[in-house]
Amino acid sequence: MATYYNEPSRTFSEYLLIPNLTTKDCTPANVSLKTPLVKYKKGEKPAYSLNIPFSSAVMQSVSDDKMAAALARCGGISFIFGSQPIEEQANMIRKVKSYKAGFVVSRSNLTPDHTLQDILNLKEKYAHSTFAITHDGTANGKLLGIVASRDYRISRDARDKKISTFMTPFDSLVYGKTGITLSEANDLIWEHKLNVLPIVNEDQCLDYLVFRKDYDAHKEYPLELLDANKSYIVGAGINSKDYKERVPALVEAGVDVLVIDSSDGYTEWQRETIEYVKANFDVKIGAGNVVDREGFLYLVEAGADFVKVGIGGGSICITREQKGIGRGQASAVIEVAAAREQYFNETGIYVPICSDGGIVHDYHITLALSMGADFVMMGRYFARFDESPTRKLKVGNNFVKEFWGEGSNRARNWERYDTGGKSGLLFEEGVDSYVPYAGSLQENLDKTISKIKSTMCNCGSKSIEEMQRNARITLVSATSLVEGGAHDVILKESSLSGE
């Protein structure tokens, strides 16, 4: 007879956190979101940690080299999608590893036809005082000049002045050429007493800015995730079919951490893949996805360095409708976290778990962490930003970004779903969709992180570990869910758009 689980399987929206005592030192500034990425022995340090508990999904429409660099700069990790030819994936890894800390993409850019008033507006918005002036006002346009605060004097009649009349033009700038090392850039900065050094390519297009202040202390990105050579840390997705060709190429390209990407990871193919990687390479490897204790223990015993949890909860996922497998994401995390705890008590080995998919609101991340996840993986969340690899389009009056599942006909990543037989599936497990465009990664991350830290303070916790120990989590009834949003009021237009 089949085994029945009579408790309903639950998702994040069915839970809330109950505040604990907040002590006076428990302020967002004192909260650390540092979290282990790979397994470690009690009393030792993990070989890799994240500075923020975020990873971007192993998806064509989410994690390429650009996203990986942007997220590592902010302290998280991307797993570059494996549903592409091996050499192309290895090249993306190489590109990320070649970005060096200290080179920043210019955030505030204007054209020579803009005015001093435009500078003042941007200055107020970003609190920057250096602006790149490019032919089209973009971060990688042809560099025509730089404006710093010493270039202008604010008086009422000067605000309409065109930037072309007071910028330092390109001909008078000291600049570095693409490929320059950070220490060479720093030498130029000191030699010419500069505050900023633009780095341009052979077409005079702007690649990066190197700031004097960043060289001393990476102030812009204090959480950036770096290896010993000051290159960004990057992950890559693999599958359990072509790993004997793919893994050597990725390791050669410098990948830090691998993850086997599959909708159902409780398989002998995953065990064989982990065993092959462990026997032949000194590289970390995560596995998944699982949704219960048995799946978790199977992958841990096979040697997995972390385990990914979640089946069927992804925003683009139709696995549950198509195949009838899966589990509510909160129930899955809670059960796997309990198994991890028991394993730790018995062996002294801590195996991080990643809650993958189904994050709809920012507070779901806080709940996942409280329930025992060490970090989350998100697709939809990251797909909305400038840095995701897909096109930004205008649909009706709104800007959107394209976002498609790995199990959709568009991605055709059948290796993720195929459980052995001949390659190729007869049905899809994911959809092709749009998500609302949301701007830059960093702006959005800053907001999300401040919400997580604020909730952690409500719960009296200054670290994820404390939160996991101290959190008090309550189920909510269907009726109290209604009470959770604004209710019984008529909303004004402007308050309808927030998350």
Query: Do residues 192 and 171 touch, judged by C-beta distance below 8 A?
Result: no
Determine if 390 is a binding residue for ligand IMP (CB under 6 A). no
Determine if 316 is a binding residue for ligand IMP (CB under 6 A). yes
Quote the DSSP letter at residue 451.
H
Query: Do residues 230 and 101 touch, judged by C-beta distance below 8 A?
Result: yes
Determine if 262 is a binding residue for ligand IMP (CB under 6 A). no
Angle value at C-alpha 313, between 310 and 319, nearest 5 degrees: 95
Cβ distance to ligand IMP smaller for residue 207 or 406:
406
Determine if 76 is a binding residue for ligand IMP (CB under 6 A). no
Q: Which residues contact 233 (CB under 8 A, 6 or more apart)?
A: 48, 72, 77, 225, 226, 227, 256, 257
CB-closest chain residue to ligand IMP: 430
Cβ distance to ligand IMP smaller for residue 207 or 264:
264
The site for ligand IMP, by CB under 6 A, has a size of 24
Query: Do residues 246 and 265 touch, judged by C-beta distance below 8 A?
Result: no
Stretch that binds ligand IMP, among 115-123, 248-256, 377-385, 458-466 (CB under 6 A): 377-385
**Cα distance between residue 135 and residue 112, in whole Å:** 7
Q: Which of 26, 317, 457, 459 is catalytic?
A: 317
Determine if 359 is a binding residue for ligand IMP (CB under 6 A). yes
**Cα distance between residue 111 and residue 376, in whole Å:** 39
Tokens of 466: 């404390």
**Cα distance between residue 360 and residue 243, in whole Å:** 32
Determine if 358 is a binding residue for ligand IMP (CB under 6 A). yes
Determine if 57 is a binding residue for ligand IMP (CB under 6 A). yes
**Cα distance between residue 235 and residue 89, in whole Å:** 11
Determine if 379 is a binding residue for ligand IMP (CB under 6 A). yes
List the one residue from 114, 246, 284, 380 that touches ligand IMP (CB under 6 A): 380
Q: Which of 327, 340, 384, 416 is catalytic?
A: 416
**Cα distance between residue 232 and residue 254, in whole Å:** 10
Least distance in angstroms from the C-beta of 462 to ligand IMP? 27
Determine if 374 is a binding residue for ligand IMP (CB under 6 A). no
**Cα distance between residue 273 and residue 241, in whole Å:** 8
List the one residue from 364, 429, 433, 464 that touches ligand IMP (CB under 6 A): 429
Determine if 336 is a binding residue for ligand IMP (CB under 6 A). no
- Is residue 74 flagged as an active site residue? no
Least distance in angstroms from the C-beta of 157 to ligand IMP? 52
Stretch that binds ligand IMP, among 33-41, 186-194, 237-245, 308-316 (CB under 6 A): 308-316
Distance of CA 113 to the CA centre of its chain: 36
Cβ distance to ligand IMP smaller for residue 58 or 300:
58
List the one residue from 38, 122, 317, 367 that touches ligand IMP (CB under 6 A): 317
Determine if 407 is a binding residue for ligand IMP (CB under 6 A). yes
Query: What sections of 385-463 are H helices per DSSP?
Result: 441-458
Determine if 75 is a binding residue for ligand IMP (CB under 6 A). no
Cβ distance to ligand IMP smaller for residue 271 or 380:
380
Least distance in angstroms from the C-beta of 381 to ligand IMP? 6
Determine if 64 is a binding residue for ligand IMP (CB under 6 A). no
List the one residue from 405, 442, 452, 461 that touches ligand IMP (CB under 6 A): 405
Determine if 430 is a binding residue for ligand IMP (CB under 6 A). yes
List the one residue from 63, 134, 388, 408 that touches ligand IMP (CB under 6 A): 408
Cβ distance to ligand IMP smaller for residue 101 or 383:
383
Determine if 378 is a binding residue for ligand IMP (CB under 6 A). yes
Determine if 357 is a binding residue for ligand IMP (CB under 6 A). yes
List the one residue from 64, 65, 356, 415 that touches ligand IMP (CB under 6 A): 356
Please report, as residue ranges, which positions from 112 to 131 form the binding site for ligand IMP (by CB under 6 A).
none
Cβ distance to ligand IMP smaller for residue 141 or 405:
405
Quote the DSSP letter at residue 186.
H
Query: Do residues 140 and 207 touch, judged by C-beta distance below 8 A?
Result: yes
Quote the DSSP letter at residue 9.
P
Least distance in angstroms from the C-beta of 384 to ligand IMP? 10
Query: Do residues 178 and 201 touch, judged by C-beta distance below 8 A?
Result: yes
Cβ distance to ligand IMP smaller for residue 161 or 451:
451
Quote the DSSP letter at residue 354.
E
How far the first Cα of the chain sits from its last, in Å, is 45
Cβ distance to ligand IMP smaller for residue 46 or 310:
310
**Cα distance between residue 256 and residue 238, in whole Å:** 13
Stretch that binds ligand IMP, among 85-93, 111-119, 316-324, 342-350 (CB under 6 A): 316-324
How many residues does the structure list for the chain? Answer: 499
User: Cβ-count burial of 318 within 10 angstroms (0-12 exposed, 13-18 middle, 19+ buried)?
Assistant: middle
- Is residue 380 flagged as an active site residue? no
**Cα distance between residue 203 and residue 143, in whole Å:** 9
Determine if 337 is a binding residue for ligand IMP (CB under 6 A). no
Catalog residues that contact ligand IMP under the rule CB under 6 A: 57, 59, 263, 310, 314-317, 319, 356-359, 377-381, 405-408, 429-430
| Catalytic center residues | 317, 416
